[in-house]
Structure 1
Amino acid sequence: MADILSLVFRTYMHKKALKEAGSGVVVPASTVLVGEQSISRSVLMLAAVTAASHMGMRVMFFTHTRIQSLPPSLQRCVPNLSPESLKKIQFSYPRTVEELLQQVASLHESTNTSPAPPSLIIVDRLECFLRSHSRFPQGEQSCAAHVCALLCDAAAFFSQKLESQGSSSGPCRLITSFLPEAHAEKAEGGPSATDPVLDVLDRYFEVRCTLDPDRGYGATAAGAAELWSVYLSGRGLAKDRVGVTQEWQLFVFPDALMEFKLV
């Protein structure tokens, strides 16, 4: 069974491209999404809705900024989203990394009252939480390691519960988005360097999914407003030796419709 981002890519591919894609790419259970907030949140929301509506998963969505309404891209891609599907997504709004740690650590308590454990945990804009730390004197790297370790521990716990319940939606997946300072500087034409915090995240997350804006003429030629190159890398891809695709394109059209294409 394809994992969440793989399902997102294939679900929202152009129909002609889907026929040519074959089995496509399988993204493993833990992924860090690296890219600008506007596009990364749209992909995270699309992943949450796809998991809830297509796979019946319960989703925990942690975000620093309150979501007042569904992004236009999501409304355009999933116009007939049922209220029942949205009920499977639980949003939580911790303000600091301490609150995030506390809420993740107490997730297991909700399984005593909820019908099923979460099968997908999403953390939006992890860098906002890491930069709010106050009790990690070693800095953001230490804070990142602590958060990632707790997230992985929670996912492992829920994976065991899902397996013991005979659920078909296990194991529990992890997806987070992160915008390193070097990535932001590169987008603005400034210097680019390896972010030490991103190196920490790569130790915990099996796949890195990088979203880079394509400033060529591809978007105009396709009638799109934006074009993003989607690069997959990481040790998780080595598990799938046959049929692995490591590069996609994401088109965002003027009406907010999003489409993925294999490269």
Structure 2
Amino acid sequence: MADILTSVFRTFMSQTNKDVTVVPHSACSALLPGDSSVSSSVLLLGDSSISRSLLLLSAVMAASELGVRVVFFTQTQIQSLPVSLQKCMPSPESLKKIKFSYPRTLGDLLQQVAGLHESQNTSPTPPSLIIVDRLEGFLGGNHSEDQSSAAHLSALLCDTSSFLTHILKQRSPSSAPCRLIASFRSDVDSEHAGGESSAPDPILDVLDRYFQMRCTLDRDRSYEAAAAGLKELWNVYLSATGITEDACTKEREDRPKEWKLSISPDGSMEFKMA
């Protein structure tokens, strides 16, 4: 699923960065059918508003470019699409492939995720992408209980992704697996260096056991960022976490590990490789 994100980064790449030679990884090739060498789950860590924009960009790209069904779980209504999408509005037909669900509590979310196993959600075509916006909103604030809840929810999400992958493969052996992407904002105030937190977060430690990749958003407060004027600059790091596969090693080495994100006053996003 980091592949969907890197495809988003390349789609909205700075024009001055387009000429840089990179390993081919276009939007349509990001989830190549039958490609088992890519990560199937990623945790998006950092600013909630930017994370939501990236989740929406990923959902729309999967639905419009790849033509797959997407399930998007979030506690709050989606009022509008990110500015970057508004400038290249996807077709209404592709947006119909995205199902938005609005669970209010952890119990609601667990029930709705478990419901993805039911036949009405796997026919005629199962979802190929599960997105959960702001995991922290479903946790109650008690760290010991939250660790158990985070483990329960993560295990169910991974089990559901695996189950849907099995259904997809049964129907078409060349199908790509069902991917999982979720966002999380840590309560621990920490600075990030190379994508790693300087202080431990027990909830994040639990989540990292289940998600294969982490995508970390870190506000850039350097001289370069100050010189950018009104634009916000962010560092975006990709790193492996708990679950690893030897088959992924070469593919992860080829993929850029760090990106720069600039956000204009109107909200439009532009990426470049660091």
* CA 1:213–1:96: 2 relative to 1, 3 Å: same
The 5-angstrom pairing of residues 162-241 of structure 1 reads 162-166=168-172, 170-183=176-189, 193-219=199-225, 221=227, 225-235=231-241, 236=244, 238=249, 240=251
Q: Distance in 2 between the 1:18 and 1:54 partners?
A: 20
Q: Distance in 2 between the 1:109 and 1:241 partners?
A: 34
Q: Distance in 2 between the 1:230 and 1:203 partners?
A: 21
Task: Provide, for residues 201-227 of structure 1, a one-character-per-residue CA deviation record: whole Å limited to 9, x for no partner.
Answer: 100000111001112243465566211
Q: Distance in 2 between the 1:19 and 1:165 partners?
A: 40
Task: Provide, for residues 96-129 of structure 1, a one-character-per-residue CA deviation record: whole Å limited to 9, x for no partner.
Answer: 0000000000112254574311110000000000
Q: Which residue of 1 aligns with 2:268?
A: 257
Q: CA deviation at 1:151?
A: 0.2
Contact 1:202 1:234 in 2 (8 A): no
Q: Distance in 1 between the 2:260 and 2:120 partners?
A: 38
Letter in 2 for 1:52: A
* CA 1:43–1:21: 2 relative to 1, 3 Å: farther
Q: Distance in 1 between the 2:159 and 2:176 partners?
A: 15
- Deviates further, 213-222 or 56-65: 213-222
The 5-angstrom pairing of residues 1-263 of structure 1 reads 3-23=3-23, 28-76=39-87, 79-109=88-118, 111=120, 114-131=123-140, 138-166=144-172, 170-183=176-189, 193-219=199-225, 221=227, 225-235=231-241, 236=244, 238=249, 240=251, 242-263=253-274
* CA 1:164–1:224: 2 relative to 1, 3 Å: farther
Gapped regions of structure 2 (runs ≥ 5): 31-37
* CA 1:162–1:132: 2 relative to 1, 3 Å: farther
Q: Distance in 2 between the 1:254 and 1:30 partners?
A: 31
Contact 1:219 1:227 in 2 (8 A): yes
TM-score (norm 1): 0.86
Q: CA deviation at 1:253?
A: 1.7
Q: CA deviation at 1:238?
A: 3.5
- Deviates further, 250-259 or 214-223: 214-223
Contact 1:119 1:169 in 2 (8 A): no
Contact 2:2 2:41 in 1 (8 A): no
Task: Provide, for residues 22-65 of structure 1, a one-character-per-residue CA deviation record: whole Å limited to 9, x for no partner.
Answer: 11688621000011111111111111111111111110000011
Task: Provide, for residues 121-145 of structure 1, a one-character-per-residue CA deviation record: whole Å limited to 9, x for no partner.
Answer: 0000000002279xxx951000000
User: Cα RMSD between the aligned structures?
Assistant: 2.7
Runs (4+) of structure 1 exceeding 6 A deviation are 24-27
Q: CA deviation at 1:234?
A: 1.4
